[in-house]
Structure 1
């Protein structure tokens, strides 16, 4: 294990002015001392060489000693992380990482590194994900203007993230969920930079999201609404007929719209769809029920198994269709911006989008008795926590389940027969 000590110059001609505090790293390599400037300074008469800290009686001693404690803790954690990492690390690489902690590379800004991340990850992440990092960069640039000082890896700690989160909510008007998603994107970038020794300050890892004040409402179609849509006579409107078939196919298979829109004839074998998901790139065998097979049969002989409609247009057209079908039940949604409760009520059709189909499949399948483990095999969810957010059991089903679980046997009447 390495040894870390703090020292200052104490030559006679230097005792009257503040001196730099150096970090001495030993036992990294036998008989070798590494001397690194911490960028902290102290007057020698206020320095205690035995404790290697500022004297408690001197002005600013508490804050300086806290920073020195933080430096020692960080360098120790950095060493442990590198030792525990599967990748071999040389002493010189470790010392370079330590120096970068005190002197972040001046030739590149944080925003340059975000650009580097986007450029190097283009073949690994999807265009919509790249856009999220571009949005993050834009918000950080505006935040830098607001705080009037450059943002670097060295400046990012829990307090910085808390202030940035507050800025996103109060200044940019984001609701809590959207702001926290951006923080999640930010941490993905910081993890990438840390893995490549571009960032050596690990304080950001201690930031934890507080539990949401309200769960996101899960909007889905009822079985009656789905049956009505499936059987509606749309022969006079080819556009909405195609929209209905594509949307209903997603409702009856539980697939994401990104996968439904890319379905190919060769993926369908008998009564199963072998779907290579775009999001996770895993191969899932999705059994095709009678409803899904009938939809495919409607488009038999066409160039593609299903009509091709962009996600953006689909979200517009499905609302139009649901409005025509009378799905206008008032739906109340609650969001939070900071502590502010934002409540809105809109007709149901305005809340319907492409992802409603997947939620509909999960909810109705559970209501109709499909086992969660079977459902997860079809949807591709890897654990129940991921599946749970789609579940929205109706009041009718909850009442039915309660009666089923707590059914009371009728009591037999006892008659007193006199002999």
Structure 2
């Protein structure tokens, strides 16, 4: 196994131009990764043999230097052999640190990740949400599986994470876990935070993400058209669970509330606005920003429909919302019944509110952003799609004006 380890010595001149004195440095290379260290010995540069990497001649000084360098090399090889015998993790840094008597234990990647997640759990509701926690837990599980798949290990020193590890993780997520590009990128961004923690604490001496750059792919966000919304609203369901999920979905379509926000919506979140009508004023669970939404006829009718529901009568919520998992499963059934070919999810309702219900009807993007609870207009602009239907109406209006001018 010694062929994996390479040790050589080289002189490094002092800063003085006139001086020929040089400090002798050692270079450890293991599996292509190298690390340098000083031997604290000096030599006149003209007495160094660049081919044999040692001192020239048979002088007492040269013999002393060469004996010293040979002893360093022997000790380094002994450390390397001992690590192999003990089945320990090996790296050039580990070998160097053991030689210099550094007793600091190598920080392990998965231990750092677990510490981060444990700390995050304590801050749920105090800056972090359960959803964020779940994403980091999922990311940690993916890293664990990637280590077993590619490295046949349960954990590695965080120092061993390099650019190859990151790109390999990206490939693993897409090829083995069938993650879409943006989904894989989200996991890598989560992982990047863990590595930055290690870098900030000086557990690693370089940032492996320095040369990594991820780019998001723009994706078409699906939404329902007016005709599809009407079809869903008019259809009658004999199965109560489908009727309930359809109503909650429509409520989100006409309020723009995310699923997590409609699930926690209470009477305290419904107030009378300046215009004398009912408004929803609630803080988004994801960003803690305020959403201000006038209640239209459709959502008001849905609130009235479920006002006598046992869950609502407790006073904690205004709608009996099922879990996100069940809602998404039942929405697939609803789509089949309604003849809608799109992939219905609870979040598609928010897209529908932003496009079909508001922006396409001429509601200013600033107002839409306020209702969606966006902190930045850039976020709202993601939804700012001009629908074909609106383009057709605008062109019809233009055509009519042109006829009148003739």
**Using the alignment, how far apart are the partners of 2:373 and 2:214 within structure 1?**
26
- The equivalent residue for 1:370 is 363
How big is the alpha-carbon RMSD for the aligned residues of Structure 1 and Structure 2? 4.0
- The equivalent residue for 1:267 is 269
Unaligned runs of 5+ in 1: 1-5, 11-17, 23-37, 60-98, 328-346, 414-419
Q: Using the TM superposition, give the Cα deviation of residue 196 of structure 1 relative to its aligned residue in structure 2, in angstroms.
A: 4.1
Given that 1:104 and 1:153 are in contact with CA atoms closer than 8 Å, whether structure 2 keeps it comes out as no
Unaligned runs of 5+ in 2: 1-9, 15-23, 29-33, 54-96, 273-277
Q: Using the TM superposition, give the Cα deviation of residue 402 of structure 1 relative to its aligned residue in structure 2, in angstroms.
A: 5.5
Given that 2:267 and 2:318 are in contact with CA atoms closer than 8 Å, whether structure 1 keeps it comes out as yes
Given that 2:107 and 2:203 are in contact with CA atoms closer than 8 Å, whether structure 1 keeps it comes out as no
**Using the alignment, how far apart are the partners of 2:103 and 2:187 within structure 1?**
24
For residues 308 and 233 of structure 1, do their structure 2 counterparts lie closer, same or farther at Cα, with a shift above 3 Å needed?
A: same
Quick check: 1:120 aligned with 2:151?
no
Q: Using the TM superposition, give the Cα deviation of residue 286 of structure 1 relative to its aligned residue in structure 2, in angstroms.
A: 1.9
**Using the alignment, how far apart are the partners of 1:252 and 1:48 within structure 2?**
82
Quick check: 1:287 aligned with 2:294?
yes
Given that 1:285 and 1:378 are in contact with CA atoms closer than 8 Å, whether structure 2 keeps it comes out as yes
Given that 1:9 and 1:20 are in contact with CA atoms closer than 8 Å, whether structure 2 keeps it comes out as no
- Aligned-partner SS, 2:209: helix
- The equivalent residue for 2:173 is 168
Q: Which has the larger radius of gyration?
A: 2
- The equivalent residue for 2:207 is 202
**Using the alignment, how far apart are the partners of 2:381 and 2:399 within structure 1?**
24
Given that 2:282 and 2:290 are in contact with CA atoms closer than 8 Å, whether structure 1 keeps it comes out as yes
Q: Using the TM superposition, give the Cα deviation of residue 39 of structure 1 relative to its aligned residue in structure 2, in angstroms.
A: 4.2
**Using the alignment, how far apart are the partners of 1:407 and 1:58 within structure 2?**
91
- The equivalent residue for 2:233 is 230
**Using the alignment, how far apart are the partners of 1:123 and 1:402 within structure 2?**
56
Quick check: 1:323 aligned with 2:336?
yes
When the two structures are aligned, how many residues end up with a matched partner? 319
Q: Using the TM superposition, give the Cα deviation of residue 386 of structure 1 relative to its aligned residue in structure 2, in angstroms.
A: 1.7
Q: Using the TM superposition, give the Cα deviation of residue 55 of structure 1 relative to its aligned residue in structure 2, in angstroms.
A: 10
- Aligned-partner SS, 1:254: coil
- Aligned-partner SS, 2:228: helix
- Aligned-partner SS, 2:179: coil
**Using the alignment, how far apart are the partners of 1:49 and 1:295 within structure 2?**
87
Q: Using the TM superposition, give the Cα deviation of residue 193 of structure 1 relative to its aligned residue in structure 2, in angstroms.
A: 3.4
Residues 3-152 of structure 1 aligned to structure 2 (within 5 Å): 19-20=25-26, 39-40=35-36, 106-124=105-123, 125-145=128-148, 146-147=150-151, 151-152=156-157
Quick check: 1:276 aligned with 2:289?
no
Given that 1:249 and 1:292 are in contact with CA atoms closer than 8 Å, whether structure 2 keeps it comes out as yes
Q: Using the TM superposition, give the Cα deviation of residue 207 of structure 1 relative to its aligned residue in structure 2, in angstroms.
A: 1.6
- Aligned-partner SS, 1:260: helix
Higher relative contact order (CA 8 A, sep 6+): 1
Q: Using the TM superposition, give the Cα deviation of residue 40 of structure 1 relative to its aligned residue in structure 2, in angstroms.
A: 1.6
Given that 2:292 and 2:373 are in contact with CA atoms closer than 8 Å, whether structure 1 keeps it comes out as no
For residues 247 and 201 of structure 1, do their structure 2 counterparts lie closer, same or farther at Cα, with a shift above 3 Å needed?
A: same
For residues 104 and 387 of structure 1, do their structure 2 counterparts lie closer, same or farther at Cα, with a shift above 3 Å needed?
A: farther
2:344 is matched with which residue: 324, 348, 352? 352
Q: Using the TM superposition, give the Cα deviation of residue 206 of structure 1 relative to its aligned residue in structure 2, in angstroms.
A: 3.7
**Using the alignment, how far apart are the partners of 1:279 and 1:306 within structure 2?**
20
- The equivalent residue for 1:257 is 259
**Using the alignment, how far apart are the partners of 1:395 and 1:196 within structure 2?**
53
Q: Using the TM superposition, give the Cα deviation of residue 230 of structure 1 relative to its aligned residue in structure 2, in angstroms.
A: 2.5
Given that 2:223 and 2:352 are in contact with CA atoms closer than 8 Å, whether structure 1 keeps it comes out as yes
Given that 2:265 and 2:318 are in contact with CA atoms closer than 8 Å, whether structure 1 keeps it comes out as yes
- Aligned-partner SS, 1:272: strand
- The equivalent residue for 2:388 is 395
Given that 1:193 and 1:199 are in contact with CA atoms closer than 8 Å, whether structure 2 keeps it comes out as yes
For residues 300 and 140 of structure 1, do their structure 2 counterparts lie closer, same or farther at Cα, with a shift above 3 Å needed?
A: closer
Given that 2:255 and 2:353 are in contact with CA atoms closer than 8 Å, whether structure 1 keeps it comes out as yes
**Using the alignment, how far apart are the partners of 2:44 and 2:185 within structure 1?**
44
Q: Using the TM superposition, give the Cα deviation of residue 122 of structure 1 relative to its aligned residue in structure 2, in angstroms.
A: 0.7
